[in-house]
A and B are shown apart, each in its own frame.
Chain A
Amino acid sequence: MSPTRERTLLPTDEPLSLLDKDGSPVAGSPLVMPDDDVLLELHRRMVVGRRFDTQATALTRQGRLAVYPSSRGQEACEVGSVLALRPADWLFPTYRDTVALVTRGVDPAEALTLLQGDWHSGYDPCAHRVGPQCTPLATNTLHAVGFAHAARLKGEDTSVLVLLGDGATSEGDTHEALNFAGVWRAPVVFLVQNNGYAISVPMSKQNAAPSLAHKGIGYGVPSVLVDGNDVAAVYAVVREALESGGPTLIEARTYRIEAHTNADDATRYRTPDEVAAWLDRDPVDRIEAYLTSRGLLDAARRSAVAAEAEEFAARVRAELNADRPRDPAALFEHVYATPTAQLREQAAALAEELA
């Protein structure tokens, strides 16, 4: 067993990390540093993800998106965890995890379908092995456990990663999911992105345990506390958890730089000093500093990655600025496999109304 799993169920007092806030390697870390090519890929995806996030935020201001919950500042969690997945694994994301979706390969316009005010899941979950983004908190944790248990029953080598936030750890479903996962030894990884606030409610009003990772102990689920702004560390713990064959609860300490959504005023519940302190621990800067010091990231690669990010953002802009026709008849599709007589009547009535 590897060093982190040799520990008991208890998480460490301090978050595990591989790189400090300035990008210097942490001495004596029990985590395994990812290979150089993985680190470069983590960096590239974080830069693209951040540019995508700022583009989506801008599109909200322009009225192209109904709402957008930014994950700026949480790129290490979004990208580090998703790149740790193997192709056969599944991801169960929340509404804030659009950067995780595009990192998994979901087309950005399809990933933003819900947030445009269009149909809920614009992407094919089966094609990408990504469940629909969940808006009610914590409900996806149970879907993930059920999916993982089914994989086990079917003899498939599939692990499941479910993303949730700090607020979701207060929901009953999280506790039922951890309990089921513990009892069934389901191959599922719960990654809590603890960004400090559930909309406006701070951690101090959310949780009385020493950490959110401590919540795994009572369910017999091994638990890990990790620095959520250290992408190398997030990748390492998620990869190890996915390969463990059983459940793991990971709390990643991070911070949401933007407000909860564009509709929220974060200045009402947090100070500029607090935000500035977290900006100083930026996850992208950190990996860049490390890769630069190692000679892996030079000016040429840096500008190539930046250009790719711009190109990505331009494509998102173009796709979302195009008005797409919508068919009212689609209202009645996919309610049941075969429409009921009632739905056929209503579809005919609407068609007549529109004729």
Chain B
Amino acid sequence: MSGVPVSMAGALNRALADALADDPAVLVFGEDVGPLGGVFRVTDGLAARFGEARVFDTPLAESGIVGTAIGMAMNGLRPVVEMQFDAFAYPAFEQITSHLAKMRNRTRGRVSLPVVIRVPYGGGIGGVEHHCDSSEAYYAHTPGLTVVTPGTPDDAYHLLRASIASPDPVIFLEPKRRYWTKGELSDVAVPMDRAVVRRPGADVTLIAYGPLMATALETAEAAVEEGWEVEVVDLRSLSPFDDATVCASVRRTGRAVVVHEASGFGGYGAEVVARVTERCFHHLHAPVLRVTGFDVPYPPPKLEEHHLPGVDRILDAIARLQWDDEVVGCRGA
């Protein structure tokens, strides 16, 4: 692909366009995705290029969007639908958990549902309530769903192509505050079940995904001044979980911090901590810590900066990992 940097929203747009061009069974629909091009312009120009039969606006009804997508997939199409904002997807929750996730299992493999649900999620954009939720734990808890979230434009392109090609339903969580982050696209496909080490480091593993990937990388940069080499792992796929990549990193470093925007209690990070602890206990020099949003409803925009984990809070957590002064001192010397 071209070496010209593209925004994450642009990468998603290109992925949708390429999928529509490659496979006549692919459809894109939802609220305002047609002529408007979506409220974040991710579907910009697609209706004009591919016509109203393939890219179209629906009535404003999320359960209706997902429920009809299920019927269309049963009839051989590959719907890619948009939920517009994270919390707006909740009316569709029953269709997602009771039907979309279970159809393959319920029909003993006779009916598969290749449906992608795009959910712009997370905060940091000054949005009002219901526009900034991090709902990944709800989806990741549901067997039958694949849940992925890109942290870079390149992952956004390739993960969306892979999601559309998947024979199973995929919840595609788009970190909306990174829509305008730019990066180059590669020609290398991204697997849907593999985490990746974004930055190598020997002292501590920082496990992040989606909107906090960039924050994690900033933290790793800042940690250099403290003499800490932070390894950053980008999960990319929240379900299934790539134990192999994550545990290999933690065994190397012996310390780990998991970060996400969503509330901590019962959150996705708890699963990561549990898995790492179960598998790497004898390699750990410290408890695995979480840095998450507080256990509060998503706050108003004027307070969100206090809720969302930032570099300082993550550095504090790394500092609390009971560092062996001697080791740090040696490395700093």
**Interface residues of A, Cβ cutoff 8 Å to B:** 119-121, 124-126, 131-132, 136, 139, 141-151, 153-154, 158, 172-173, 176-177, 179-180, 183, 333-337, 340-342
Is the beta-carbon distance between B59 and A180 smaller than 8 angstroms? yes
Name which of B11-19, B71-79, B213-221, B324-332 contacts chain A: B71-79
Considering the chains assembled together, what is the distance between the CA atoms of A258 and B35 in angstroms?
A: 53
Given contacts A176-B61, A180-B58, A342-B241, is CB(A119)–CB(B106) below 8 Å?
Answer: yes
With beta carbons under 8 angstroms apart, the residue of A119, A176, A340 that contacts B240 is A340
Fill in one digit per residue for B51-89: 1 if any A CB lies within 8 Å of its CB, else 0: 001000011010110111111111111000000000000
Is the beta-carbon distance between B59 and A176 smaller than 8 angstroms? yes
Considering the chains assembled together, what is the distance between the CA atoms of A150 and B95 in angstroms?
A: 18
With beta carbons under 8 angstroms apart, the residue of A126, A144, A172, A177 that contacts B111 is A126
CB-CB under 8 A from A180, the residues of chain B are 58-59, 61, 64, 68
- Kindly name the residue among A183, A333, A340 whose own CB sees the greatest number of chain B CB atoms within 10 A: A340
Considering the chains assembled together, what is the distance between the CA atoms of A132 and B102 in angstroms?
A: 11
Fill in one digit per residue for B240-264: 1 if any A CB lies within 8 Å of its CB, else 0: 1101100000000000000000000
Is the beta-carbon distance between B94 and A136 smaller than 8 angstroms? yes
Is the beta-carbon distance between B59 and A139 smaller than 8 angstroms? no
- Kindly name the residue among A125, A132, A150 whose own CB sees the greatest number of chain B CB atoms within 10 A: A150
Is the beta-carbon distance between A337 and B70 smaller than 8 angstroms? no
Given contacts A150-B71, A150-B72, is CB(A142)–CB(B108) below 8 Å?
Answer: no
A sample of 30 cross-chain residue pairs with beta-carbon separation below 8 angstroms, ordered by A number, consists of A120-B105, A120-B107, A124-B107, A124-B110, A125-B74, A125-B107, A132-B107, A136-B98, A139-B94, A139-B98, A139-B99, A142-B64, A143-B68, A143-B74, A145-B64, A146-B71, A146-B75, A147-B72, A153-B53, A153-B77, A173-B63, A173-B94, A176-B59, A183-B59, A334-B104, A334-B107, A336-B144, A337-B168, A340-B240, A342-B243
Is the beta-carbon distance between A337 and B61 smaller than 8 angstroms? no
Quick check: is B112 within 8 A (CB to CB) of the other chain? yes
**Interface residues of B, Cβ cutoff 8 Å to A:** 27, 53, 58-59, 61, 63-64, 66-77, 91, 94-95, 98-99, 102-112, 143-144, 146, 166-168, 193, 240-241, 243-244
CB-CB under 8 A from B241, the residues of chain A are 342
Residue of B with least CB distance to A342: B240
With beta carbons under 8 angstroms apart, the residue of B64, B71, B193 that contacts A147 is B71
CB-CB under 8 A from B109, the residues of chain A are 333-334
CB-CB under 8 A from B107, the residues of chain A are 120-121, 124-125, 132, 334
Is the beta-carbon distance between A148 and B94 smaller than 8 angstroms? no
Q: Which 3 A-B pairs have the closest CB atoms?
A: A146-B71, A142-B67, A146-B68
Considering the chains assembled together, what is the distance between the CA atoms of A342 and B193 in angstroms?
A: 11
CB-CB under 8 A from A334, the residues of chain B are 104-105, 107-109
Residue of A with least CB distance to B101: A335
CB-CB under 8 A from A158, the residues of chain B are 75
Is the beta-carbon distance between B67 and A150 smaller than 8 angstroms? no
CB-CB under 8 A from B59, the residues of chain A are 176, 179-180, 183
CB-CB under 8 A from A179, the residues of chain B are 59, 61, 64
Is the beta-carbon distance between B72 and A149 smaller than 8 angstroms? yes
With beta carbons under 8 angstroms apart, the residue of B99, B103, B110, B168 that contacts A126 is B110
Extra contacts, 18 of them, besides A121-B107, A147-B75, A335-B105 (Cβ < 8 A), are A120-B102, A132-B111, A139-B94, A139-B99, A141-B67, A146-B70, A146-B71, A146-B72, A154-B76, A172-B63, A173-B64, A173-B95, A176-B63, A180-B59, A335-B104, A335-B144, A336-B104, A337-B104
Considering the chains assembled together, what is the distance between the CA atoms of A126 and B240 in angstroms?
A: 29
Residue of A with least CB distance to B104: A334
With beta carbons under 8 angstroms apart, the residue of A142, A333, A335, A342 that contacts B68 is A142
CB-CB under 8 A from A172, the residues of chain B are 63, 91
CB-CB under 8 A from B27, the residues of chain A are 153
CB-CB under 8 A from A177, the residues of chain B are 64, 67-68
A212 to chain B, nearest CB (A): 20
Is the beta-carbon distance between B94 and A341 smaller than 8 angstroms? no
CB-CB under 8 A from B105, the residues of chain A are 120, 334-335
Considering the chains assembled together, what is the distance between the CA atoms of A334 and B102 in angstroms?
A: 9
Is the beta-carbon distance between A341 and B110 smaller than 8 angstroms? no
With beta carbons under 8 angstroms apart, the residue of B64, B70, B112, B166 that contacts A176 is B64
Given contacts A136-B98, A139-B95, A139-B99, is CB(A173)–CB(B67) below 8 Å?
Answer: yes
Residue of A with least CB distance to B144: A335
Is the beta-carbon distance between B112 and A337 smaller than 8 angstroms? yes
CB-CB under 8 A from A119, the residues of chain B are 106, 108
A132 to chain B, nearest CB (A): 6
- Kindly name the residue among B77, B95, B108 whose own CB sees the greatest number of chain A CB atoms within 10 A: B108
Is the beta-carbon distance between B67 and A125 smaller than 8 angstroms? no
Considering the chains assembled together, what is the distance between the CA atoms of A340 and B193 in angstroms?
A: 9
Residue of B with least CB distance to A181: B68
B124 to chain A, nearest CB (A): 31
A337 to chain B, nearest CB (A): 4
Considering the chains assembled together, what is the distance between the CA atoms of A231 and B58 in angstroms?
A: 37
Residue of A with least CB distance to B102: A120
Considering the chains assembled together, what is the distance between the CA atoms of A145 and B67 in angstroms?
A: 8
Is the beta-carbon distance between B75 and A139 smaller than 8 angstroms? no
Considering the chains assembled together, what is the distance between the CA atoms of A145 and B68 in angstroms?
A: 6
Is the beta-carbon distance between A150 and B75 smaller than 8 angstroms? yes
CB-CB under 8 A from A342, the residues of chain B are 240-241, 243
Given contacts A121-B106, A183-B59, is CB(A143)–CB(B67) below 8 Å?
Answer: yes
